[in-house]
Amino acid sequence: MSDEATRELTTVSAVAGGTTQVSDEVIEKIAVAAARAVPGVAELGGDVARFFNSFLDKVGLDQVGDARRGCSAHVTGDAAVVNLVLVIQAGQPVPEITGQVRARVTEAVEAYGLRVDEVNIRVDDVAMGGPAAPTP
């Protein structure tokens, strides 16, 4: 390898300074994905959000707003506060489900290099079973 090629590679690999900002929306998407992965979480979002999502489903826009529905986050520096609104499956112990959600959300967000100061959860509803079975 020539001396010129070596100098060029060294110049290319130099680290540049600057800042990195992570938007609230990114943290919301990460938190929603983590919360949905917890068994016993039926849905995210309050009554109004679920009503509008139901309407969007009917008109063929079923993915609109789903990525962040039921979640708000605020990032300040390297720390995040996450607020979730959950619907849990009937018969599930609320403290157990919310504890698992907090742990998974914290782990998922911290994997992106941020510190999680709070995961606030409001259980808005209980899902009473699945879809009705067809009658013969």
pLDDT tens digits, 11-64: 454 578 888 888 999 999 999 999 999 999 998 886 544 444 554 455 554 544
Compute the average pLDDT of residues 92-113: 96
E-strand spans in 3-78? 41-44, 71-76
Q: Is 123 exposed, middle or buried, given 0-12, 13-18 or 19+ CB atoms closer than 10 A? A: middle
What is the model's pTM?
A: 0.71
User: Burial, 25: exposed, middle or buried (Cβ in 10 Å; 0-12, 13-18, 19+)?
Assistant: middle
Angstrom distances, CA of residue 43 to CA of 29, 38, 77, 82, 88: 14, 11, 30, 17, 7
Q: DSSP states of 61-86 as a string? A: -TTTTTTTTTEEEEEETTEEEEEEEE
pLDDT tens for 56-94 read: 455 554 544 455 678 999 999 999 999 999 999 999 999
Q: Spell 30-39 as b/e; 16+ CB within 10 A means b.
A: bbbebbbebe
Q: How big is the chain, counted in residues?
A: 136
- Alpha-carbon distance 50 to 56, whole Å? 10
